[in-house]
A = this chain, B = another copy of it.
Amino acid sequence: MAAFALSLYLPAVARQHQAGQPKSPASQLETRFDQQLSPAHVGATIKELAAQPHHLGSARGKAVAEAILAKFKDYGWDARIATYQVLFPTPKTRVLEMTAPTRYKALLKEPALKEDASSGQEGQLPTYNAWGGDGDVTGQLVYVNFGLPEDYETLERLGIDVKGKIVIARYGRSWRGIKPKVAAEHGAIGCIIYSDPREDGYFEGDVYPKGAFKNEYGVQRGAVMDMVIYPGDPLTPGVGATENAKRLERSAAPTILKIPVLPISYHDAQPLLAALEGPVVPADWRGALPITYHTGPGKATVHLQVACNWDLVPVYDVIATIKGAQYPDEWVVRGNHHDAWVNGASDPISGIAALLEEAKAIGALVKSGYRPKRTLVYCAWDGEEPGLIGSTEWVEDHAEELQQKAVAYINTDGNGRGFLGAGGSHALTQLMDGIAKDVTDPQTKVSVYERRKALNLVRAAPAKRKELLDNKTLSLSALGSGSDYSPFFQHLGVPSLNLGFGGEDDGGEYHSIYDSYDHYSRFKDPEFHYGVALAQVAGRAVLRLADAEVLPFDFTDLYRTISGYVNELTAQATQMRESTEMENRLIAAHTYQLAADPTQPFVAPAPKAEVPYLDFSPLQNALVMLEKSSTKLRDTLSAAAVPPAVRQRLNEALYRAEQSLLTGNGLPRRSWFKHTIYAPGFYTGYGVKTLPGIREAMEQRNWKEAREQVRVVAEAVQRLSRKLEECASLIP
């Protein structure tokens, strides 16, 4: 009915996108590409590959890799499996019990459901967090909200210390690995992570199997490796985990946590949380369980025991290629992982099904005579779930070649019904803008660009709407971490994109046994139309990059983006300076004590050092250079045809330009991350920090380091600028 109502309104808008100009050869190719894409086939691929649990190191995981290999070959690609040997912990002991004030033994188990055919299968990994330490600890329990640094500041205000205690944190707001890391930094001896129904359960919607959301027994598995130091095999940082690679001792691997960690359901969490004493938590710490949330500590005591098999297991990355006709040594790389925590119909199979659909379509085009100018490299990664392992090891193993040859890396990782999400290198803004305007939304028949823009407008604060309306170009988001683009993008400086649809595919199946074909086909993308839409978007990115005479990089968008980040930081510096001064005045006047309830524990905050004025001018001056050089390059390229003789040199310079933004030493305290513009946050994990060296130094109030990092970024921007000047000078 609603879809019908919509159709009354939309034909005019839709028509304007269907009526076209005479088609160019490129768009004819894309039309033929589209004709090969089939929702039913996407659905069949998801059903097949998600049929059984298939985590890293499992027999079924190997079988899935082999099935994907066979598909690539069937589609006409050269394909092989690249193998690495990596550490991967799987649990042998998991115990969580409350021993006081009453006894409760946690179930630590998701039940099979008759409505979900695969939920009772053999071979499921139990509920656990990979890379927590082995340990057997007993202690008082403290609730730490999301377990972020600011949550511990709040606890400090309440006079509560977690030293020697076990903390319970709720999932959300950060990548999960941040929670036990920060807990350990504060002296906690164990960490429980639970799914609160506020973020992931009945608060959001009806629970599985009635609805899509997490039922009381659902548990989110997941890695807690300290991946913001480096991802991939903890024993082989910076190099491929080949059979004979030099390996760290496990005890020396800095990305393996020291304290035991266990994820639990809200069914298991409720008795623990209900037993807590101590102050009632602040309003924004309260979840949706029908209890009063207290911080603890008190009589509530828990026993947590985790022990793992710490085995070396094989990684099976499937690598498929079609050699470029004109520039075989320029690679367009496309990837999605194939390993799952359990069945993974949504994560990752819905993404790899789109990737395979593209491979099938391109294979068919090749069979009918098409040859891409550049080499296509399609990758199905293993071991993404435990820490981007398959992609990282392959990238580290081929680092030099990739920095020479990789034009771009296009990543996906799961997909569903809804709106286009696109993030990545901002020099690729125009490429993605063009694609998003050319691909039609399956439900509304306007472009996926227009639909996404409508969502942005409706969600925007009223004061932001004018600016959004006036902006006629797709906005790429900045990439943090959480999928396989990290090694390409943040370690090597390969221009990267991360693509997916979502927003009308909510659910609580993530990393649980309920991420199944049954769940996916009821709630995530029931008709698999968005699998096709994703193949259309990512396939166009591949084809346009593969066949462009001159690669579609436009660094004026990158300039504008970095410039925006610098404006953010200068405003933030001012705001921090003013708020610190005000805060110190209030502290000096005992304002916090006077406002506090004298019958409740309260520790007033300590004054903070004054915030100095920071000199951003080196970076601001570098940006003036970048504005000029990027504009000149853009104008030169649009004014004159590029002579065939210089094309290859120009293209190589264009796609390698992003590498100018790497800093050789990497970011402070995490040298693997070398990109000066984008990194996952040291204390947020998934969440991106743009200009991370400067921003995180400021957040940590390390003004000396902030000053140094301004210079580091300024030099990177200058390098890029000089690179772009070289590019422009190639054109006569």
The reply on A63 being an interface residue by CB < 8 A is no
CA distance A597 to B505 in the complex (A): 10
A444 partner residues in chain B, CB cutoff 8 A: 593-594, 598
Known contacts A290-B197, A451-B594, A594-B450; A599/B458 CB under 8 A: no
Which residues in A have some Cβ–Cβ distance to B below 8 Å?
1-3, 5-6, 9-10, 13, 197, 202-207, 211, 213, 280, 286, 288-292, 418, 443-444, 446, 450-451, 454-455, 457-459, 462, 465-466, 469, 504, 575, 578-579, 582, 585-586, 589-602, 604
Q: Contact at B586–A457, with CB atoms within 8 Å? A: yes
Q: Contact at B2–A600, with CB atoms within 8 Å? A: yes
The residue that A590 contacts in the complex, of B10, B280, B418, B504, with Cβ under 8 A, is B10
A290 partner residues in chain B, CB cutoff 8 A: 197, 202, 288-290
| Nearest B residue to A469, CB-CB | B585
Q: Contact at B206–A594, with CB atoms within 8 Å? A: no
Q: Contact at B599–A292, with CB atoms within 8 Å? A: no
A10 partner residues in chain B, CB cutoff 8 A: 590, 593-594
Known contacts A2-B601, A444-B598, A469-B582; 4 additional CB pairs below 8 A are: A9-B604, A10-B590, A202-B290, A457-B586
Q: Contact at A443–B3, with CB atoms within 8 Å? A: no
A3 partner residues in chain B, CB cutoff 8 A: 598-599
Q: Contact at A597–B504, with CB atoms within 8 Å? A: yes
The residue that A292 contacts in the complex, of B211, B590, B600, with Cβ under 8 A, is B211
Min CB distance A419 to B, Å, is 8
| Nearest B residue to A597, CB-CB | B504
Q: Contact at B450–A292, with CB atoms within 8 Å? A: no
Q: Contact at A458–B590, with CB atoms within 8 Å? A: no
Known contacts A206-B280, A292-B205, A466-B582; A594/B286 CB under 8 A: no
A213 partner residues in chain B, CB cutoff 8 A: 292
28 pairs, CB–CB < 8 Å, chain A vs chain B: A2-B601, A5-B593, A5-B602, A10-B594, A197-B290, A203-B286, A203-B292, A204-B292, A205-B280, A206-B280, A213-B292, A288-B290, A443-B598, A444-B594, A454-B589, A454-B590, A454-B591, A454-B592, A454-B593, A454-B594, A457-B591, A457-B595, A462-B578, A466-B582, A469-B582, A469-B585, A504-B597, A504-B599
A575 partner residues in chain B, CB cutoff 8 A: 462
Q: Contact at A586–B280, with CB atoms within 8 Å? A: no
Q: Contact at B2–A598, with CB atoms within 8 Å? A: yes
Min CB distance A439 to B, Å, is 15
Known contacts A10-B590, A446-B594, A598-B444; A462/B289 CB under 8 A: no
Q: Which of A459, A579, A599 has the most CB of B within 10 A?
A: A599
CA distance A443 to B599 in the complex (A): 9
Q: Contact at A13–B590, with CB atoms within 8 Å? A: yes
Min CB distance A542 to B, Å, is 27
Min CB distance A588 to B, Å, is 10
A578 partner residues in chain B, CB cutoff 8 A: 462
Min CB distance A540 to B, Å, is 21
Min CB distance A585 to B, Å, is 7
A585 partner residues in chain B, CB cutoff 8 A: 469
A462 partner residues in chain B, CB cutoff 8 A: 575, 578-579, 582
A597 partner residues in chain B, CB cutoff 8 A: 418, 504
Q: Contact at B288–A458, with CB atoms within 8 Å? A: no
Known contacts A13-B590, A292-B207, A582-B465; A1/B458 CB under 8 A: no
The residue that A9 contacts in the complex, of B286, B443, B593, B601, with Cβ under 8 A, is B593
Q: Contact at B454–A595, with CB atoms within 8 Å? A: yes
| Nearest B residue to A418, CB-CB | B597
Q: Contact at B2–A591, with CB atoms within 8 Å? A: no
CA distance A138 to B685 in the complex (A): 54
CA distance A636 to B462 in the complex (A): 48
Known contacts A454-B594, A465-B582, A591-B457; A599/B202 CB under 8 A: no
Min CB distance A616 to B, Å, is 22
CA distance A596 to B591 in the complex (A): 47
Min CB distance A199 to B, Å, is 11
A465 partner residues in chain B, CB cutoff 8 A: 582, 586
A206 partner residues in chain B, CB cutoff 8 A: 280, 292
Min CB distance A283 to B, Å, is 8
